[in-house]
């Protein structure tokens, strides 16, 4: 257990939220999953930037009532053990969410548990309907955001712990003083973390942070 940690930064999708994540949940709920696959393929093959990927994906939802999108996202299943885990950690640390997903869901979880920070990609709204996206967290940007939060708190990133499960969490792991790969989706995520917690029970991280 680390005694110098002041803040814990969590990924959202696959860590605080169970399932395929906020992008997938939105596409599933709005019937645009198949169309979005073309955009993902273009990004991962290097044909377009992350910003272009996000812009193209959200363009599939343009004109959708924001209330409908919220309803879909807020039905997302929370990770088992989240209540106990955040209750314990909030007594000792500041808590941040840094998500490459949608800020709508990150903000919802932040408010639900009374957390300190939430970062994600922000849906733009015009006349109550989806009108675009303000891309704030790209695939390699989580480390930079962790640095920004640390500066706000007057601490160093080495006084921060990071909990994530996917490749885009590795930059956050590199900045943090302590990193936990929670139920990681890739071997390189495991290798980049200080410890690995397998299985879908968030309480497993309390061994290291509780």
Marked catalytic residue, from 4, 11, 57, 107: 11
Query: Which of 125, 119, 114, 12 has the alpha carbon at shortest distance from 73?
Result: 12
The DSSP letter of residue 158 is: G
Marked catalytic residue, from 13, 57, 165, 169: 13
Max alpha carbon distance in the chain (Å)? 49
How many angstroms separate the CA atoms of 21 and 77, rounded? 10
Q: In this structure, are residues 72 and 26 in contact, taking their beta carbons and an 8 Å threshold? A: yes
Q: In this structure, are residues 143 and 168 in contact, taking their beta carbons and an 8 Å threshold? A: no
- β-strands 94-102, 178-182: how paired? unpaired
Query: 13 an active-site residue?
Result: yes
How many angstroms separate the CA atoms of 210 and 203, rounded? 9
Burial of 71 (0-12, 13-18, 19+ CB in 10 A): exposed
Query: 18 an active-site residue?
Result: no
Q: In this structure, are residues 95 and 115 in contact, taking their beta carbons and an 8 Å threshold? A: yes
What residues act catalytically?
11, 13
């Amino acid at each position: 257990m680390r005694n110098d940690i002041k803040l814990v930064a969590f990924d959202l999708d696959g860590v605080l939220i169970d399932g395929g994540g906020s992008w997938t949940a939105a596409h599933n709920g709005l019937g645009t999953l198949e169309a979005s696959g073309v955009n993902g393929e273009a990004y991962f093959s290097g044909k377009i930037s992350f910003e272009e990927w996000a812009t193209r994906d959200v363009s599939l939802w343009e004109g959708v009532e924001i209330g409908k999108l919220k309803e879909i996202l807020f039905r997302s299943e929370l990770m088992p053990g989240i209540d106990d885990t955040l209750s314990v950690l909030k007594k000792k640390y500041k808590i941040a969410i840094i998500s490459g997903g949608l800020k709508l869901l990150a903000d919802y979880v932040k408010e639900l548990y009374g957390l300190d920070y939430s970062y994600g990609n922000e849906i733009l709204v015009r006349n109550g309907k989806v009108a675009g996206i303000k891309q704030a967290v790209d695939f390699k940007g989580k480390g930079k955001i962790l640095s920004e939060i640390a500066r706000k708190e007057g601490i160093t990133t080495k006084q921060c712990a990071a909990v994530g499960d996917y490749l885009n969490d590795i930059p956050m792991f590199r900045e943090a003083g302590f990193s936990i790969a929670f139920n990681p989706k890739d071997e390189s995520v495991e290798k980049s973390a200080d410890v690995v917690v397998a299985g879908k029970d968030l309480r497993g991280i309390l061994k290291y942070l509780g």
